[in-house]
């Protein structure tokens, strides 16, 4: 089963890390990534730019605003897609990620539709 693991943390804390601190966190995370990849469980991952680079479309108003929509203490900073057996296995991955990068939170969400982004797959799923 595919799970999205959404990475939340205080953007102020993360952007305040020195290059050496950031490199150390990324190196620890790389160890988790290697294990997941070796087990065939690692899907797409992304580290997002800071929220000041965000643009939000308020759908019902067709209104575009700069920045994120939600005002929260922690921001969505990135995500993983993992292919694991169940919720418990997804939690185990989130715990491994936590050991590599403490602080913040990981939100786990089952994925009901996954499209990796190739035009071939979009055409295959489009109604005839």
CA distance 44 to 122: 17
Instruction: Write down the CATH number for the domain with range 2-113.
Output: 3.30.70.1060
Q: Using one digit for the tens of pLDDT, what is the confidence trace for 91-113?
A: 999 999 999 998 889 999 999 88
Give the contacts of 31 (CB within 8 A, at least 6 positions apart).
Answer: 100
Two structure tokens written together for 7: 């990475």
Q: Using one digit for the tens of pLDDT, what is the confidence trace for 1-37?
A: 999 999 999 999 999 999 999 999 999 999 999 999 9
Contact 78, 47 (CB under 8 A): yes
């Amino acid at each position: 089963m595919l799970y999205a693991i959404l990475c939340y943390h205080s953007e102020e804390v993360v952007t305040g890390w020195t290059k050496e601190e950031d490199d150390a966190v990324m190196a620890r995370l790389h160890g988790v990534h290697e294990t997941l990849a070796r087990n065939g469980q690692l899907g797409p991952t992304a580290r997002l730019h800071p929220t000041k680079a965000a643009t939000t479309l308020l759908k019902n108003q067709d209104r575009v605003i700069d920045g994120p929509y939600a005002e929260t203490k922690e921001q969505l900073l990135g995500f993983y897609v993992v292919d694991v057996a169940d919720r418990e296995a997804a939690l185990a991955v989130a715990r491994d990620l936590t050991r590599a990068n403490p602080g913040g939170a990981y939100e786990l969400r089952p994925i009901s539709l996954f499209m990796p982004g190739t035009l071939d797959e979009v055409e295959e799923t489009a109604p005839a």
